[in-house]
Chain A
């Protein structure tokens, strides 16, 4: 109520409040749509991360088994040599923007073709790099989920503030001002009637 009492009951103030209400409704609509888009993006990323996690679970065991098998066949020295001489995947840390939410991303650069000397190592290399790519993709999706979650939380607070505090308060202030103007108008009418009747009485007396 204290908020309402502070407003000057003038037409200018009413116009200003009405403009503010229009702006607040527009911002509310925009933010609500942004929230919907962000939630959709969040759900898409969540689905993707579940999918990637499943893929990693499927890939990790064959890669591990193959690596154990190759280690058993060639021995530790050859395996170490293979590890050192294989061109590695290079990663570049970048950013991706999803509806104003900046998330970290990685671009993987695959090395050129490598001549495999030992049988079975080439397949293992392909499998291992596929696993690494899936892990990186999962990391990207989970990073995006966290960033989107934070943004959704703050946007939701702003949408709720507009919906439950700012817009109702402005509407109430406008209603109060209208009531005051109506009351003033009624008072004015009553006063005019009173003046008219007094004048008529005076005229009759004369």
Chain B
């Protein structure tokens, strides 16, 4: 294998590794975050991400008694091998929170969202949601 080709492979693999650098190491509980003066999480690239207090309050209000079971940030998955502009939210509580915020119907463990809904979701829950790109597929 020529050196140039090797560099190209390494570059492409590096791109795939870096594409999810904004995902946190560990999710944090909503109630735990609400108790903190500045709710934050540490991301994979070492940076600090601060949650908006208003968004946390909104999620608590939307979920009611179940709010303390929700872990943040809510991860929205994008799988490139699937249809383009097609996103999935996993987890019953996450599905409930997202569907209530968006005002759409959502039940069960998975909720499929399309690009316009993602724009709306990111507008409403900018700091409490994050998009995970899964290059390896499901």
Query: Which of B2-10, B59-67, B95-103 sits within the interface?
Result: B2-10
Asked whether B5 lies within 8 Å of A23 as measured between CB atoms, the reply is no
Residue of B nearest to A22 (CB): B12
Nearest to A158 among chain B residues (CB) is B15
Indicate whether A23 sits within 8 Å of B9 (C-beta atoms), given known contacts A30-B19, A40-B119, A44-B123: yes
Question: Do A96 and B50 contact each other (CB < 8 Å), given the known contacts A24-B12, A33-B133, A40-B122?
Answer: yes
Among A6, A37, A94, A109, the one with the most B-chain Cβ atoms within 10 Å of its Cβ is A37
Residues on B with C-beta less than 8 A from A109 are 37
Question: Nearest chain-B residue to A25 (Cβ)?
Answer: B80
Given A29-B80, A102-B47, A107-B50: A36 and B115 interface contact (C-beta under 8 Å) = yes
Interface size class of B (residues with CB under 8 A): 35 or more
A residues neighboring B (CB under 8 Å): 3, 6-7, 13, 16-17, 20, 23-24, 26-27, 29-31, 33-34, 36-37, 40-41, 44, 92, 94-102, 105, 107, 109, 158, 166
CB within 8 Å of A: which B15-34 residues = 15-16, 18-19, 21-22
Q: Quick one: given A27-B12, A29-B80, A34-B19, are A97 and B47 in contact (CB under 8 Å)?
A: yes
Chain B at the A interface: SS class: mixed
From the candidates B8, B18, B49, B119, name the one contacting A97 in the complex (CB within 8 A): B49
Give CA–CA (A34, B21) in the complex, Å: 12
> How far, in angstroms, from A95 to B13 measured CA to CA in the complex?
28
- The answer on a CB contact under 8 Å between B16 and A27 is yes
